[in-house]
Amino acid sequence: MEQFLLREVLTGSAVERISPDEDLLSTGIVDSHGVLQLVGFLQDRFGVAVSDEQLTPENFQTLERIDALVRRARG
């Protein structure tokens, strides 16, 4: 997921690494458009469908939380 963000969401940015617990939303690494890109990536890469109820800031706040969302969705 880190590589996806660096390659697709942060194109042209000076950010080279994202720590697993870095707050993606408050730092501006991911905005609402970036969340939608992430949802598409999760569907394509992991076969995970993100429901409206799961589409919360908490689930997309850090790489760790996104990973936890994927694990929960995959059972």
pLDDT of 9: 87
Show contacts of 64-72: CB within 8 Å, 24+ apart: 64/20, 64/21, 66/1, 66/38, 66/42, 67/1, 67/20, 69/42, 70/42, 70/46
Mean pLDDT of 2-14: 86
CB-based contact 61:24 (threshold 8 Å)? yes
- Domain boundaries defined on the chain: 2-6+24-74
Neighbour tally for 11: CB within 10 Å: 7
pTM of the model: 0.89
pLDDT single digits (tens) 21-68: 999 999 999 999 999 999 999 999 999 999 999 999 999 999 999 999
Residue 57 CA to residue 62 CA, distance in Å, equals 9
pLDDT at 15: 82
**What's the pLDDT at 11?**
78
For residues 12-17, average pLDDT: 83
